[in-house]
Amino acid sequence: MTSASVGRPRLIALDWGTTHARAYLLGGSADGPVVRDQSSGEGILSVAADDPDRDGAFAAILERMVGGFLDEYPGLPMIACGMIGASQGWRTAQYRTLPTELAGAGGLVVIDTPRGPLPVIAGVKKSAPEPDVIRGEETQLAGLAPGLPEGQASTVLLPGTHSKWALVRDGRLLDFHTAMTGEVFALLSGDSMVARVAEPPAPGHDWRIGFDRGLELATGGVPGDVLFKAFTIRSAVLDEQLPPTQVIDCLSGLLIGSEVATRSVAQTFEGPILVCGGEALVERYRRALDRAGLASRPAPADATVRGLWHSALGAGLIKEEQWLTSLA
Amino acid sequence: MTSASVGRPRLIALDWGTTHARAYLLGGSADGPVVRDQSSGEGILSVAADDPDRDGAFAAILERMVGGFLDEYPGLPMIACGMIGASQGWRTAQYRTLPTELAGAGGLVVIDTPRGPLPVIAGVKKSAPEPDVIRGEETQLAGLAPGLPEGQASTVLLPGTHSKWALVRDGRLLDFHTAMTGEVFALLSGDSMVARVAEPPAPGHDWRIGFDRGLELATGGVPGDVLFKAFTIRSAVLDEQLPPTQVIDCLSGLLIGSEVATRSVAQTFEGPILVCGGEALVERYRRALDRAGLASRPAPADATVRGLWHSALGAGLIKEEQWLTSLA
């Protein structure tokens, strides 16, 4: 049952990743395009690689995620993005190559499920000068592209486990670079000789103080890359130059600062960098960008939903663009 | 009982680290200075931080390590190096500052044990331009220093969990830099998205092939630091540019190559770099140094034993230098 102010649902969209799955019933108004959504921890890792019936296992998750939506609105088209289309997923959606139309149908693979066809959006790879891959973030980029200025190459930064720096122009992905910043941070702040000198922050703790120390360490005049500088944080505690409560923030600043410094040496930016991610992480990255003299702005929070919608339009699964025209 | 060809033991020396302890009965001939030695996993971590009787717990380990030696040769002097002198150890031997006489008595702290006085060699710290600390490796350096050319600043590289690049002249430590290369390698090759695309090498596997790919990645023209380049390894596998069996070697090459590249930009080297460590690791580092155009030579394997001996001499615990004069 939908209220009178909400448009009829027109699409079921899935963001199906490594450790999570999220299903959206889409088609509401510009104020609330998501009619309903549901999350679960049933990412692709929840199906064992040696499961004799992987098709059946994935179909069962799909049923739990969208079965209720389809019972209520039979015949709605579906679309999915994320690791579900990786070689470890349900069916491989071969990577597209650069440059690529972000909301185009290139590489789309259609899985024949008990609930009907499920088109899966392909990731993007590049082979030179260095290999790199994207899977999942291309859909966020497809959602953000309509909001970028026309005729110029904009940089979109998607921080996270694997940070992506993407160059987008007129709806096309031109290039991208991935940094393992989030994953390295998790490893070093979890169990390392740096983490061992850390103490949990006290109430009222201001993360900016330690974070800024890390940014200084990343970009200061002292030679050395993160392999050397991460140990400097430990030494700074032993030498009583850094309080143990600031260690984790300082590590975060060092890694994010190093990532930003690397990209700012490698490329020049036209216009502000659009930063898309969780609020706290976006704040940290924007602080680092600001210190590096780079303008930035935060992205809308619903990039994935927008991207799934635009991709469904681009693939001809739905016919008219309704609620997104006013937002783009 | 010692054979006739072995000199009377004159020193009990301990290398007492975080996760291991090793005791040496020293004083043999130049061909075999170690009369006997014994290893155990009873590093400082084996005594709980909140143990109500930490003194007793450490004394019990000491008894197990050297009690037999002392029963056989009562009154022998003792000396120890390593994390046993850290704040998490038995008693803190405050760091010396740069420059410091490597085999001098500076900072030595003497623990009053049930088996007599146990002098513990102090680590070294520096505060500027960036803080750094050494504890344990200073003793290896004290062992290697007599073999270095006089009147010039030699670089000694001690690869490992925390790689040390030390600058030594005429028995004095002038400067040092630490890289977390070994620890970061262990973290990334253990459980990361890079490790997930790795496969174990087949019999007859040549580590050099993947390692050299990693060196190229570290020093090639593609911009980016290890945060970016580590992900490149994963992408290279997904793009079928790198066989999964070469992933771990490639990661090793990337990290070691980055460490070497960083130091080779930051400093110039007088004479060959002396590389001291386990055989396999020394081979990898020397290969990376060679590719970077830096001459190197391997160090004698018994640097710690030599250093404990020289430090005991420097501290006046033993009076004559016997077996080491011919080796130095």
pLDDT score for A30: 64
Q: Which two tokens mark A316?
A: 């001809």
| Residue range A219-238, pLDDT digits in tens | 886 666 899 999 999 999 99
Would you say B23 and B90 are in contact if contact means Cβ atoms under 8 Å apart?
Answer: no
Cα angle A171, A172, A176 (rounded to 5 degrees) comes to: 125
Helices (H), A28-166: 54-72, 137-144
Nearest Cα neighbor of A257 from A316, A181, A326 is A181
Residue A257 has pLDDT above 90, yes or no: yes
Q: Which residue(s) pair with B178 in the sheet?
A: B164
| Cα–Cα distance, B185 to B256 (Å, whole number) | 9
Would you say B65 and B38 are in contact if contact means Cβ atoms under 8 Å apart?
Answer: yes
pLDDT score for B321: 62
User: How many pairs of residues across A and B have Cβ atoms under 8 Å apart?
Assistant: 148
Taking an 8 Å cut-off on Cβ atoms, the answer to whether A227 and B181 are in contact is yes
Taking an 8 Å cut-off on Cβ atoms, the answer to whether B180 and A193 are in contact is yes
What average pLDDT does chain B have?
A: 92
The Cβ of residue A190 has, within 10 Å, a number of other Cβ atoms equal to: 10
Residue B76 has pLDDT above 80, yes or no: yes
Question: Which of B132, B181, B232 has the CB atom closest to A235's CB atom?
Answer: B132
pLDDT score for B224: 67
Which CATH number among 3.30.429.10, 3.30.390.50, 3.40.50.970, 3.30.420.300 corresponds to the domain B11-127+302-314? 3.30.420.300
Q: How far are the Cα atoms of A322, B59, B66, B117, B323 from residue B112, in angstroms, in the given order? A: 82, 10, 15, 5, 29
Q: How far is CA B314 from the centre of its chain?
A: 20
Nearest Cα neighbor of A247 from A289, A201, A284 is A201
- Helix, strand, coil % in chain A, rounded to nearest 5: 40, 20, 40
- Nearest chain B residue to A123, by CA: B238
> Domain residue spans in chain A?
11-125+303-314, 181-294
| Cα–Cα distance, A99 to B258 (Å, whole number) | 30
Mean pLDDT over B112-131 rounds to 96
Find chain A residues with C-beta within 8 A of B164's C-beta.
none
Taking an 8 Å cut-off on Cβ atoms, the answer to whether B193 and A258 are in contact is no
| Cα–Cα distance, B21 to B328 (Å, whole number) | 26
pLDDT score for A222: 64
Q: Quick one: pLDDT band at residue B105, thresholds 50, 70, 90? A: confident
Taking an 8 Å cut-off on Cβ atoms, the answer to whether B232 and A130 are in contact is yes
User: What is the value of ipTM here, to two decimals?
Assistant: 0.90
The domain at A181-294 falls in which architecture?
2-Layer Sandwich (3.30)
pLDDT score for B323: 59
Taking an 8 Å cut-off on Cβ atoms, the answer to whether A227 and B125 are in contact is no
Taking an 8 Å cut-off on Cβ atoms, the answer to whether A131 and B258 are in contact is no
Would you say A328 and A146 are in contact if contact means Cβ atoms under 8 Å apart?
Answer: yes
Neighbour-count burial for B16-35, b at 16+ CB within 10 Å, e otherwise: bbbebbbbbbbbbeeeebbb
Query: Token match 């925390």: residue?
Result: B162
pLDDT score for A322: 57
| Cα–Cα distance, B80 to A321 (Å, whole number) | 75
CB proximity list for A31: less than 8 A, separation 6 or greater: none
The Cβ of residue A3 has, within 10 Å, a number of other Cβ atoms equal to: 7
Query: Token match 């008894």: residue?
Result: B63
The Cβ of residue B232 has, within 10 Å, a number of other Cβ atoms equal to: 26
- Helix, strand, coil % in chain B, rounded to nearest 5: 40, 20, 40
**pLDDT: is A33 or A199 the higher one?**
A199
Find chain B residues with C-beta within 8 A of A128's C-beta.
none
| Cα–Cα distance, A44 to A88 (Å, whole number) | 7
Question: Dihedral sign, CA of A43, A49, A50, A54?
Answer: positive
Taking an 8 Å cut-off on Cβ atoms, the answer to whether B228 and A131 are in contact is no
Find chain B residues with C-beta within 8 A of A192's C-beta.
180, 183, 187
Tell me whether domains A11-125+303-314 and A181-294 share a fold: yes
Q: How far is CA B85 from the centre of its chain?
A: 16
Neighbour-count burial for B167-200, b at 16+ CB within 10 Å, e otherwise: bbbebbbebbbbbbbbbbbebbbeebbbbebbee
What average pLDDT does chain A have?
A: 92
| Cα–Cα distance, A57 to A60 (Å, whole number) | 5
Residue B327 has pLDDT above 70, yes or no: no
Would you say A15 and A308 are in contact if contact means Cβ atoms under 8 Å apart?
Answer: yes
Mean pLDDT over B280-290 rounds to 97
Residue A325 has pLDDT above 70, yes or no: no
Question: Which of A127, A180, A241 has the CB atom closest to B239's CB atom?
Answer: A127
Cα angle B59, B64, B66 (rounded to 5 degrees) comes to: 90
- Nearest chain B residue to A230, by CA: B180
Question: Which of A181, A223, A234 has the CB atom closest to B265's CB atom?
Answer: A223
- Nearest chain B residue to A257, by CA: B227
Q: Which residue(s) pair with B14 in the sheet?
A: B23, B80
Question: Which of A180, A227, A231 has the CB atom closest to B231's CB atom?
Answer: A180
Taking an 8 Å cut-off on Cβ atoms, the answer to whether A227 and B193 are in contact is no
* Crossing angle (nearest 10°) for helices B247-266 and B181-190: 160
| DSSP 8-class letter at B301 | T
CATH topology of domain A11-125+303-314: Nucleotidyltransferase; domain 5 (3.30.420)
| Cα–Cα distance, B191 to B200 (Å, whole number) | 14
Residue B239 has pLDDT above 90, yes or no: yes
Report DSSP letters for B182-244, one per residue.
HHHHHHHHHSSTTGGG--PPPTT--HHHHHHHHHHHHHSSS---HHHHHHHHHHHHHTTSS-G
Percent pLDDT > 90 in chain B is: 84
CB proximity list for A83: less than 8 A, separation 6 or greater: A16, A17, A18, A43, A44, A89, A135, A136
- Nearest chain B residue to A132, by CA: B235
Mean pLDDT over B80-84 rounds to 97
Taking an 8 Å cut-off on Cβ atoms, the answer to whether B228 and A265 are in contact is no
Residue B1 has pLDDT above 50, yes or no: no
